[in-house]
């Protein structure tokens, strides 16, 4: 019986359990995209806390692809070198370091959430004095503002599209140098790749807009570029929004997600991480425990690929049931890992029958505390 504490083989990489830290932006860089002590402690703590996979936050492949000026980036060798101590630390603890490679598209150049999450104009600044920039969009006319304000946008032309693909490829090469074992392409939450996927935000009439084939072209080209440089023995994940939650109009939905997952499997993607929404403010998101699990389940049933479930998963038994009942292959935990950095150790304690087996999953330095 496969359960939450079962290892997860991913090509030649093996996660010691099926618990992953869901990518979570920390907005804690200066303005250079370089990790700080915050990132090292934040990611390191979750490795200490028993996560099998420790995924970074959305890490920008290009400075214009940052959500805020304070996002993490991987657009130079200096970034790769600065991330290396963290990947080494995670690996030393038996965890698997993953990186989420991201481009924020027309949701870029914003202030941090605690500064209001509003667009910063190219000639404007955020409260820290950091400048904004012109953002890239598949179709600026279709921009659906969450905040009532429009950023300065440019329609992506053929050169921009090729630049995005090249930036993803180079970022993957650098991620490998930095010691990451999993590359996750971020194609969810209304950021650039999702903006191309959804007919709500993609009104293009060229090879990248219109039909399913055309709207999925950019994500397929990006994934192919990443897979080209990512070694065969290491896994690639893709995070998608399973649906836009806009049933009242032509939008991105679960049927298209299943079709895309199949195409991604053919391109050598190992796991689809199924999130949802983030594209349009009128989205009707159900919320609550496991609210996105049915989407993951449908991808798992309809496409020949492993899936990750995420969203409203807070209890070890809840997560364990998802794996035991074949609803997901991996469970990603977001906010609960912020409340409890040791969620993985808690899961071992709650789920292992023999306390000695649970204690073995604790770092040796902490083992005396494992048994009460």
The candidate with the shortest Cα–Cα distance to 359, out of 367, 47, 351, is 367
The label of the residue with tokens 């425990």 reads 289
Residue 363 exposure: Cα atoms within 13 Å on the Cβ side:
20
Cα–Cα distance measured from residue 279 to residue 106, given in angstroms and rounded to the nearest whole number: 10
Cα–Cα distance measured from residue 343 to residue 40, given in angstroms and rounded to the nearest whole number: 18
- Our finding on whether 334 is near ligand FNR (CB under 6 A) is yes
Minimum distance between the CB of residue 272 and ligand FNR, rounded to whole angstroms? 13
- Our finding on whether 100 is near ligand FNR (CB under 6 A) is yes
Task: Tell which one of 86, 175, 216, 275 touches ligand FNR (CB under 6 A).
Answer: 275
Task: Tell which one of 150, 335, 356, 367 touches ligand FNR (CB under 6 A).
Answer: 335
- Our finding on whether 308 is near ligand FNR (CB under 6 A) is no
Helix axes 158-178, 217-229, angle to 10 degrees: 30
Task: Tell which one of 336, 344, 349, 361 touches ligand FNR (CB under 6 A).
Answer: 336
- Our finding on whether 276 is near ligand FNR (CB under 6 A) is no
Task: Tell which one of 6, 11, 24, 146 touches ligand FNR (CB under 6 A).
Answer: 24
Nearer to ligand FNR, 25 or 200 (CB): 25
**Is 184 in contact with 206 (CB distance < 8 Å)?**
no
Positions marked active-site: 191
Helix axes 77-92, 37-48, angle to 10 degrees: 20
Question: Residue 371 phi/psi, 5° resolution?
Answer: -100, 130
Piece in contact with ligand FNR (CB under 6 A), picked from 168-176, 207-215, 251-259, 309-317: 309-317
Piece in contact with ligand FNR (CB under 6 A), picked from 2-10, 181-189, 230-238, 293-301: 181-189
Minimum distance between the CB of residue 339 and ligand FNR, rounded to whole angstroms? 10
- Give CA separation, 95 vs 258, 269, 365, in Å: 30, 21, 16
Nearer to ligand FNR, 222 or 359 (CB): 222
- Our finding on whether 310 is near ligand FNR (CB under 6 A) is yes
- Our finding on whether 35 is near ligand FNR (CB under 6 A) is no
- Our finding on whether 312 is near ligand FNR (CB under 6 A) is yes
Q: Strands (DSSP E) along the chain, which ranges?
A: 8-10, 13-15, 19-21, 53-60, 96-102, 135-137, 153-155, 182-187, 236-241, 271-275, 306-310, 330-333
- Our finding on whether 311 is near ligand FNR (CB under 6 A) is yes
- Our finding on whether 44 is near ligand FNR (CB under 6 A) is no
Name the residues that contact ligand FNR, by CB under 6 A. Answer: 22-25, 57-58, 100, 186, 188-189, 239, 275, 310-313, 333-336
């Amino acid at each position: 019986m496969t359960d939450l504490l079962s290892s997860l083989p991913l090509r030649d990489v093996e996660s010691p359990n099926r618990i992953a830290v869901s990518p979570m932006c920390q907005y804690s860089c200066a303005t250079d995209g370089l990790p700080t002590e915050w990132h090292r402690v934040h990611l390191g703590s979750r490795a200490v806390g028993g996560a099998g996979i420790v995924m970074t936050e959305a890490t920008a492949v290009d400075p214009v692809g940052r959500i805020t000026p304070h996002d993490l980036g991987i657009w130079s060798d200096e970034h790769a070198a600065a991330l290396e101590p963290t990947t080494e630390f995670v690996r030393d603890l038996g965890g698997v370091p993953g990186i989420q490679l991201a481009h924020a598209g027309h949701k870029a150049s914003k202030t941090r959430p605690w500064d209001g999450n509003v667009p910063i104009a190219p000639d404007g600044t955020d409260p820290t004095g950091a400048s904004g920039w012109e953002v890239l969009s598949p179709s600026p006319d279709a921009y659906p503002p969450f905040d009532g304000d429009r950023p300065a946008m440019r329609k992506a032309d053929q050169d921009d599209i090729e630049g995005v693909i090249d930036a993803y490829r180079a970022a993957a090469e650098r991620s490998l140098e930095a010691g990451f074992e999993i590359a996750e392409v971020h194609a969810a939450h209304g950021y650039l790749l999702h903006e191309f996927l959804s007919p709500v935000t993609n009104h293009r009439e060229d090879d990248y807009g219109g039909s399913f084939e055309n709207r999925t072209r950019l994500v397929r080209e990006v994934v192919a570029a990443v897979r080209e440089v990512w070694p065969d023995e290491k896994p690639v994940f893709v995070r998608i929004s399973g649906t836009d939650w806009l049933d009242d109009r032509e939008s991105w939905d679960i049927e298209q997600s299943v079709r895309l997952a199949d195409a991604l499997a053919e391109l050598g993607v190992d796991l689809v991480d199924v999130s949802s929404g983030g594209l349009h403010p009128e989205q009707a998101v159900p919320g609550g425990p496991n609210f996105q699990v049915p989407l993951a389940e449908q991808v798992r049933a309809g496409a020949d690929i492993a899936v990750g479930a995420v969203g409203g998963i807070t209890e070890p038994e809840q997560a364990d049931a998802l794996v035991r009942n074949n609803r997901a292959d991996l469970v990603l935990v977001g906010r609960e890992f912020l409340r409890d950095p040791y969620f993985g150790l808690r899961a071992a304690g709650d789920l292992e029958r023999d306390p000695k087996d649970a204690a073995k999953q604790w770092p040796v330095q902490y083992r005396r505390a494992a048994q009460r």
